[in-house]
Amino acid sequence: MQDLPDQLANGLALGALYGLIAIGYTMVYGIVQLINFAHGEIFMIGGFGALTAYLWLPDGTGLAVALPLMILLAVVCAVLVAIGAERFAYRPLRGGPRLSPLITAIGLSLALQQAVWAFYPDAKKARPFPQLGGSDFDLGFVTLSREDLFIFVSAPVCMLALGLFVAKTRTGRAMQATSQDPDTAKLMGVNTDRIIVMAFAIGAAFAAVAAIAQGFKTGEVNFRMGFIAGLKAFTAAVLGGIGNIYGAMVGGLVLGVAEALATAYIGDIPGLEQFGGGSWKDVWAFILLILVLLVRPQGILGERLADRA
Amino acid sequence: MALLEVEDLRVAYGKIEAVKGISFTVDAGEVVTLIGTNGAGKTTTLRTLSGLLKPVTGKITFGGEVLNGVGAHKIVSMGLAHSPEGRRIFPRLSIEENLQLGAFLRKDADAVAKDIDNAYERFPILGERRRQAAGTLSGGEQQMLAMARALMSRPKLLMLDEPSMGLSPIMMQKIMSTISELKEQGTTILLVEQNAQAALSLADHGHVMETGNITLSGTGEELMHDESVRKAYLGED
Ligand SMILES: Nc1ncnc2c1ncn2[C@@H]1O[C@H](COP(=O)(O)OP(=O)(O)OP(=O)(O)O)[C@@H](O)[C@H]1O
Ligand SMILES: [Mg+2]
């Protein structure tokens, strides 16, 4: 187990990535009680946005120039698609039966996958994603790759910005009010439609950043990448207590660490050899979810439903 | 012209008509009360006036402007504030943040700060606990907060939906005396109350609602001495 620090760092990097995507599920759920199951595809579109920006740039552009532009186009694409989805797919169904937006989300997911598949040259194959290159950082007790560094910087920056926005700004307060009681928020003069759009947009922007992190980590993007990532991020949001933005990040981190440690060490336990390694890595997330739902159904930072009444 | 004019208002939930064509007016400076049994349509009426529900037919004019079709979030800025049934404070925001939300559309930050201080003067308990989550307040204190929050928009008309609901007699008295204070200061109020005695003694005009209709109207004084009202709402036989 002497590589434990490295496995932990790996798990935290993975977890921060899940956490960033999970914010989008949790914010939208917190405000409109809707699980936007197309959020995984928004994440995927962010990845293709970043790749597109990179391919537009002349060969040999340094990463210092390319990276900001990749982030910019990733965020713009993801946010535009999310706002469009809210406006044209979800808003018309608001106030209707709970099942309609869920079915719409599934249809929307497929449509977005097919759109990328059809219009992006060669999206059928996994497209290679630019790499950060350069050597790892050896901090003595742990080695960090440059890919990990990207997520270790961007996730805290995103969380800090979101935390300050929600707690300190007038619009952030309106967002909290809308999530606690939308009708009464309207009576205060809050345009709740705008707040809902904002929740979709913030979630999409964070997912786009996460998609770049995943592109760096795995070296590729493909039109199916949103499915597993979205499912795990949804798990993270439920783990942390859906509706709670810090819960989403905590849930993501717990999930990432559990996945990394299980993948690395379960196979060492006598009798469990066959469960070790990468082929089982997607299973641990869901086992963890089931355990948490049994023991603490409101999630790690979630409040009991009674407290919300 | 009256500050608020409601003409032949009908409101339905799906096929069920909850308000069946009512008309009434509220003049600037007066207190008007709507009384009536459970399910008469009082809350539905207020929610329609503040834009949360869309009427089937009817015309609502406020300060000379037609409110039909105006979004709820815009109606506040025209000077109509609504303290809803069940108080509906934001439980996980602090008392002060609740008050700030009451002034959400105001740009005059200094005057808002002053109004918050005034609210604390009127209700000292709110000032003492300004940083606490509003959900930790007692029912009566939450009612004070709901009223103070509605006043933060400096409304031309304040609508209060059952401010005394579920309160102890002492708390009820405190809330009622606050309403009469507001009246003396010239605030125009549309008051929905189960406590007909208290409401009618405060009100300039009153309307009795029954199953979606206004069945009786008069001054507070007249209604208080009306035989049918005494029987139905003031617990006399
Ligand atoms: N959301 C809703 N959906 C369907 N019907 C409703 C809804 N809200 C109220 N109603 C019905 O509309 C009618 C009027 O209700 P409303 O709440 O306006 O009455 P109220 O006079 O305020 O009663 P209370 O004194 O109990 O508060 C009732 O029959 C009620 O059942
Ligand atoms: Mg009512």
- Determine, for residues B73 and A184 on separate chains, whether the beta-carbon distance falls below 8 Å: no
The β-bridge relationship of strands B4-13 and B57-62 is: antiparallel
CA–CA separation, A148 and A17 (whole Å): 10
DSSP states of B93-119: SBHHHHHHHHTTT---HHHHHHHHHHH
Domain presence at residue A187: yes
- For atom 3 of ligand 1, the residue with the nearest CA is B13
At a CB cut-off of 8 Å and minimum separation 6, what does A106 contact? A37, A38
- Determine, for residues A190 and B50 on separate chains, whether the beta-carbon distance falls below 8 Å: no
Backbone φ and ψ for A144, nearest 5 degrees, come out as: -110, 130
Taking a C-beta distance cutoff of 8 angstroms, is the pair B161, B46 a contact?
yes
Q: What is the pLDDT of residue B156?
A: 96
Give yes or no for residue B237 having a pLDDT over 80.
no
Q: What is the pLDDT of residue B142?
A: 96
Q: What is the pLDDT of residue A308?
A: 40
- HSE of A211 in the Cβ direction (CA atoms, 13 Å)? 36
For B98-120, the pLDDT digits (tens) are 999 999 999 999 999 999 999 99
Domain presence at residue A260: yes
Domain count, chain A: 1
Q: What is the pLDDT of residue A307?
A: 40
The stretch B51-67 carries a mean pLDDT of 96
pTM (2 decimals)? 0.92
Q: Which tokens sit at A162?
A: 């979101």
CA–CA separation, A20 and A286 (whole Å): 18
Q: What is the pLDDT of residue B72?
A: 95
Q: What is the pLDDT along chain A (309 residues), one digit of tens a residue?
A: 668 889 999 999 999 999 999 999 999 999 999 999 999 999 999 999 999 999 999 988 888 899 999 999 999 999 999 999 999 999 999 888 888 999 999 999 999 999 999 888 888 888 999 888 777 888 878 888 888 899 999 999 999 999 999 999 999 999 999 999 999 999 999 999 999 999 999 999 999 999 999 999 999 999 999 999 999 999 999 999 999 999 999 999 999 999 999 888 888 888 777 777 777 888 888 888 888 888 888 888 876 444 443
Domain presence at residue A74: yes
The stretch B27-44 carries a mean pLDDT of 95
Q: What spacing in Å lies between the alpha carbon of B13 and ligand 1's midpoint?
A: 9
Q: What is the pLDDT of residue B76?
A: 95
Backbone φ and ψ for B11, nearest 5 degrees, come out as: -135, 140
Containing domain of residue A127, as a range? 4-295
Q: Is the CB of B163 under 6 A from ligand 1?
A: no
Q: Which tokens sit at A176?
A: 């909290």
Q: What spacing in Å lies between the alpha carbon of B85 and ligand 2's midpoint?
A: 6
Domain presence at residue A306: no
Q: Which amino acid would we find at residue B181? A: E
Partners of residue A99 on adjacent β-strands: none
- Cα distances (angstroms) measured from residue B179 to each of A280, B158, B176: 66, 10, 5
Q: What is the pLDDT of residue A122?
A: 81
CA–CA separation, B207 and B205 (whole Å): 7
CATH of the domain at A175: 1.10.3470
Domain presence at residue A33: yes
Beta strands in chain A (DSSP E): 127-128, 137-138, 143-144, 220-221
HEC profile for B213-235?
A: EEEEEEEHHHHHCCHHHHHHHCC
DSSP states of A56-81: HSPTT--HHHHHHHHHHHHHHHHHHH
Domain presence at residue A130: yes
The stretch B185-214 carries a mean pLDDT of 94
Q: Is the CB of B119 under 6 A from ligand 1?
A: no
